[in-house]
């Protein structure tokens, strides 16, 4: 095997391990449920040691939680536990991502719009989570509303991985990227410990 080929397989292994690790974290909440996340959009960042690899690992964990909630029935213990975990994960991830990454990206005029776009979608997702938390989990409409959140979130993370992270990476040094990962780790833990489940019906559908 040439050196180049062996490096390629190492990168592929790292990406596969990172994805499996992320799915296992989601599965720990409800081990009997399948996490059918299917194929994930291609990204060069999966398995990277810096901030973007860390963020993609969370995204894969979220993809698994979203898929597992779709396997639940009615107002069940699994649906409650998974939805609470998803809410705390998404809120903590978004807040820590804003503090570690988007705040710096926002200050650079070349990338301001990319950061603004990601942050605006965080608000939208937060509102959808609060709306779902306020609605009856046993009604058949709940899963339909949940499907809209899933679509919105999958769109958000695909766009981050394929557009906003790509643009941000070009403007950041490798020291920035390593430092940002540390900040993200610290902030995510603190934000998750403090995350509150809000309940608020959206006035507009
Ligand atoms: Fe985000
Ligand atoms: Fe993200």
Domain that holds residue 66: 3-194
Residue 106 lies in a domain: yes
Residue 205 lies in a domain: no
Residue 5 pLDDT: 53
Tokens of 196: 């509150």
Residue 114 pLDDT: 97
Give the CATH number for residue 19. 1.20.120
Residue-wise pLDDT for 13-60, tens only, equals 999 999 999 999 999 999 999 999 989 999 999 999 999 999 999 999
For residue 67, the CA-to-ligand 2 centroid distance in Å is: 17
Residue 149 lies in a domain: yes
Tokens of 77: 């213990």
For residue 160, the CA-to-ligand 1 centroid distance in Å is: 7
Residue 201 lies in a domain: no
Tokens of 6: 């062996």
Strands (DSSP E) contained in the chain are none
Residue 45 lies in a domain: yes
Residue-wise pLDDT for 86-138, tens only, equals 999 999 999 999 999 999 999 999 999 999 999 999 999 999 999 999 999 99
For residue 98, the CA-to-ligand 2 centroid distance in Å is: 9
Residue 202 lies in a domain: no
Residue 165 lies in a domain: yes
Residue 199 lies in a domain: no
Residue 1 pLDDT: 45
Contact between 162 and 41 under an 8 Å Cβ cutoff? The reply is yes
For residue 122, the CA-to-ligand 1 centroid distance in Å is: 6
Close Cβ partners of 132 (under 8 Å, ≥ 6 residues apart)? 83, 142, 145, 146, 149
Residue 125 pLDDT: 97
d(CA 204, CA 14) in angstroms, rounded, equals: 43
For residue 5, the CA-to-ligand 1 centroid distance in Å is: 33
Close Cβ partners of 4 (under 8 Å, ≥ 6 residues apart)? none
**pLDDT surpasses 70 at 171:** yes
For residue 54, the CA-to-ligand 2 centroid distance in Å is: 9
For residue 100, the CA-to-ligand 2 centroid distance in Å is: 11
Residue-wise pLDDT for 63-80, tens only, equals 999 999 999 999 999 999
Residue 112 pLDDT: 97
Contact between 66 and 86 under an 8 Å Cβ cutoff? The reply is yes
- Ligand nearest the Cα atom of residue 125: 1
The count of structural domains within the chain is: 1
pTM of the model: 0.94
Tokens of 71: 């396997």
For residue 9, the CA-to-ligand 1 centroid distance in Å is: 29
d(CA 156, CA 23) in angstroms, rounded, equals: 19
């Amino acid at each position: 095997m040439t050196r180049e080929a062996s490096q390629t397989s190492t990168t592929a292994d790292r990406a596969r391990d990172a994805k499996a690790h992320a799915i296992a974290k989601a599965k720990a909440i409800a081990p009997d449920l399948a996490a059918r996340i299917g194929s994930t959009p291609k990204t060069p960042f999966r398995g990277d040691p810096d901030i973007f690899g860390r963020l993609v690992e969370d995204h894969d964990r979220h993809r698994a939680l979203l898929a597992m909630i779709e396997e639940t029935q009615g107002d069940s213990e699994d649906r409650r536990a998974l939805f609470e975990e998803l809410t705390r994960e998404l809120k903590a991830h978004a807040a820590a991502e804003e503090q570690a990454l988007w705040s710096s990206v926002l200050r650079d005029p070349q990338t301001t719009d990319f950061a603004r776009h990601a942050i605006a979608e965080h608000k939208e997702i937060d509102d959808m989570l609060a709306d779902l938390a306020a609605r009856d989990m046993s009604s058949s409409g709940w899963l339909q509303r949940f499907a809209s959140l899933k679509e919105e979130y999958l769109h958000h993370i695909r766009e981050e991985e394929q557009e906003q992270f790509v643009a941000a990476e070009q403007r950041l040094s490798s020291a920035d990227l390593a430092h940002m990962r540390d900040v993200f780790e610290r902030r995510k833990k603190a934000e998750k410990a403090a995350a509150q489940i809000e309940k608020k019906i959206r006035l507009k559908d």
